[in-house]
Amino acid sequence: MKNDAIIRQANDDDRAFIFELSPSLAEVAKLDWHTDEAIQKMQDDYITQMLSKTSVPNITLVAEVNNTPQGFVHVRTHQDGITGETCGTVPLLAVSPNSQGLGLGKLLMASAEEWAKSQGCRLLHLEVFANNLKANQFYENLGFKPEMLHMIKSI
């Protein structure tokens, strides 16, 4: 399928598709200290913010097969917490459940990396829910390595 895929910049018509994937992004969090509703609201609010105009360089890319969107990635610039240099960050990547495992996520991440390089970035950053083991393995297979672990305790 990835040979049939095209990666293109998202447009206003992609908004509904992107929001359709929000529940699959939220459900992998599995955070005992937050309700499912709170996590879903956070995810929806984040997508709304992601799609809003901003002065921070960013792009949302869509993987399309046979004129049908199958996944998206959002990438923007970000200040590295250690050196302060501008790097790329991928706050969201999602592929439709029926298209996962077909290489679209890799194509989207390669496009995100290309965009970050075009912005002069040396590093590409991302965050993923700790309980999302499938995504953690996917990112590690792409060469990402953990840098910091954010921990939380319900008190």
**pLDDT at position 29:** 79
Confidence grade of residue 73 (pLDDT, cut at 50, 70, 90):
very high
pLDDT greater than 70 at residue 2:
no
Strand partners, 72: 62, 94
**pLDDT at position 12:** 92
**pLDDT at position 154:** 64
Question: What share of the chain has pLDDT > 70, as a percent?
Answer: 95
Element (H, E) at 107: helix 104-118
Q: Which of 152, 102, 108, 104 is nearest to 126 (CA)?
A: 108
**pLDDT at position 27:** 85
* Mean predicted confidence (pLDDT) in 127-135: 82
* Mean predicted confidence (pLDDT) in 1-29: 88
Is residue 104 a contact partner of residue 70, using CB atoms and an 8 Å limit? yes
Q: Which of 81, 72, 75 is nearest to 25 (CA)?
A: 72
Q: What is the DSSP string of 31-63?
A: -TTS-HHHHHHHHHHHHHHHHS--SS-EEEEEE
Q: Tokens 């049908």 belong to which residue?
A: 68
**pLDDT at position 23:** 87
**pLDDT at position 134:** 86
**pLDDT at position 144:** 86
Q: Count of H helices and E strands in the chain?
A: 5, 5
pTM over the 0.85 mark = yes
* CB contact set of 95 (below 8 Å; sequence gap of 6+): 21, 63, 70, 71, 104, 105, 108
Is residue 137 a contact partner of residue 104, using CB atoms and an 8 Å limit? no
